[in-house]
């Protein structure tokens, strides 16, 4: 039986204990697996980027699903996709610039930023939230308010 490159990578990753979910599938937790897509020119970008990213602490790099991609694993508390891409651009690397790639990158950046905000944001006090809404309702002009003082109201 002859294996295609993707099947061989999956077997290799299973043996190494690496999980390789689809890089753009929803990933729970803080450990992320993403795919960096590089432009076809200049040549040998992927090899140079692999060497460069391998030096980053708490960042694992492996060959991607295709010739011009890299798979990257990291903790979202240590790195973000936006930060990794920014560093690569500063070093002179060229990422794929198609509309699809831009949309996927924007979505990943938004999701990671939202996850970081939610992790570090203040927790809402759920026990008192109903008081806030009832106080807002009392101060908001609406048709259920009776301006007659309580001592002048007639019991019916």
Residue 105 resides in a domain: yes
pTM over 0.85: no
Question: With a cut of 70, which residues of the chain have pLDDT below it?
Answer: 1, 5-6, 9, 16-26, 122-130, 132, 137-138, 141-145, 155-156
Q: Give the integer Cα–Cα distance in Å for 113 and 141.
A: 38
Nearest-5° angle of CA 92, CA 64, CA 32?
A: 90
Q: What is the pLDDT of residue 155?
A: 66
Structural domains of the chain, count: 1
Residue 21 resides in a domain: yes
Residue 99 resides in a domain: yes
Backbone angles phi, psi at 151, to 5 degrees: -75, -20
CA-closest candidate to residue 96, choices 128, 131, 138, 64: 64
Residue 128 resides in a domain: no
Residue 133 resides in a domain: no
Give CB contacts under 8 A, 24+ apart, made by 103-109.
104/24, 105/81, 107/24, 108/24, 108/34, 108/81, 109/80, 109/81, 109/82
* Cis status of the peptide bond prior to 42, with omega within 30 of 0: yes
Domain span at residue 51 reads: 5-119
Residue 156 resides in a domain: no
Q: Give the integer Cα–Cα distance in Å for 22 and 31.
A: 13
Backbone angles phi, psi at 28, to 5 degrees: -75, 160
CA-closest candidate to residue 106, choices 9, 7, 24, 2: 24
Residue 127 resides in a domain: no
Q: Give the integer Cα–Cα distance in Å for 69 and 63.
A: 7
CATH for 9: 3.30.70.100
Residue 147 resides in a domain: no
């Amino acid at each position: 039986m002859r294996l295609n490159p993707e099947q061989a990578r999956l077997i290799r990753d299973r043996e190494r204990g690496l999980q390789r979910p689809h890089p753009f599938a929803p990933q729970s937790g803080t450990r992320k697996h993403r795919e960096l897509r590089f432009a076809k020119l200049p040549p040998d970008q992927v090899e140079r980027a692999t060497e460069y990213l391998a030096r980053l602490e708490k960042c694992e790099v492996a060959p991607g699903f295709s010739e011009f991609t890299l798979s990257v694993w990291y903790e979202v508390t240590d790195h973000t996709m936006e930060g990794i891409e920014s560093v690569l651009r500063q070093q002179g690397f060229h990422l794929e610039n198609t509309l699809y790639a831009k949309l996927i990158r924007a979505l990943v950046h938004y999701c990671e930023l939202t996850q970081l905000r939610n992790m570090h944001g203040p927790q809402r006090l759920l026990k008192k939230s109903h008081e806030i809404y009832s106080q807002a309702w009392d101060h908001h002009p609406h048709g259920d308010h009776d301006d007659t003082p309580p001592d002048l109201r007639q019991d019916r």
